């Protein structure tokens, strides 16, 4: 009985760490994939590793609320959603920016996300 409890606690801690850091890894893979795409380098392995579906992103959002993460931990999820929206609009409608403009847009989006993470980490989440 006690082994079940300790295994359950261990799995809970592993799940908590995975839910915290998987969105960061996926956001990094999205950024890397977008930058490589903008300089016309195909890397399909990044799509296989870090590709997301709508259901997966909903699951990650719900889990972040269930575990009561602060907004600091949700910013990589926001980055993934905004990046997906930009990529879908560019794919289906077309954004007339060219490769350089899309690269600048992706870097600005990543920079804004990193600044938001830093702000929330050191100003907002520390008060809690």
Asked whether the predicted pLDDT for residue 107 surpasses 80, the reply is yes
3-state secondary structure of 68: coil
Find the mean pLDDT for residues 105-111: 92
Exposed (0-12), middle (13-18) or buried (19+): which is 12, by Cβ within 10 Å?
exposed
Count of CB atoms situated within 10 Å of the CB of 79: 24
User: Cα(83)–Cα(105) distance, rounded to whole angstroms?
Assistant: 10
Find the mean pLDDT for residues 84-90: 87
User: Cα(38)–Cα(101) distance, rounded to whole angstroms?
Assistant: 9
CB 95 within 8 A of CB 86: yes
User: Cα(75)–Cα(33) distance, rounded to whole angstroms?
Assistant: 19
DSSP, res 3: H
Encode pLDDT of 14-58 as tens digits.
Answer: 888 888 888 889 999 988 988 888 778 888 888 888 877 888 888
User: Cα(67)–Cα(60) distance, rounded to whole angstroms?
Assistant: 11
- The most distant pair of C-alpha atoms in the chain lies apart, rounded to whole Å, by 62
Give the pLDDT score at 13: 87
pTM over 0.75: yes
Say which range, 82-86, 113-117, 120-124, has the weakest mean pLDDT. Answer: 120-124
């Amino acid at each position: 009985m006690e082994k079940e409890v300790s295994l359950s606690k261990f799995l809970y801690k592993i799940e908590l760490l995975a839910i915290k850091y998987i969105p960061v890894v996926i956001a990094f893979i999205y950024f890397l994939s977008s930058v490589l795409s903008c300089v016309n380098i195909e890397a399909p392995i990044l799509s296989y590793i870090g590709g997301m579906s709508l259901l997966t992103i909903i699951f990650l959002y719900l889990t972040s609320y269930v575990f009561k993460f602060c907004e600091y931990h949700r910013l990589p999820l926001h980055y993934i959603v905004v990046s997906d929206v930009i990529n879908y609009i560019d794919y289906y409608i077309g954004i007339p920016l060219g490769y350089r403009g899309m690269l600048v847009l992706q870097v600005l989006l990543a920079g804004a996300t990193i600044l938001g993470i830093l702000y929330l980490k050191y100003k907002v989440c520390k008060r809690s």
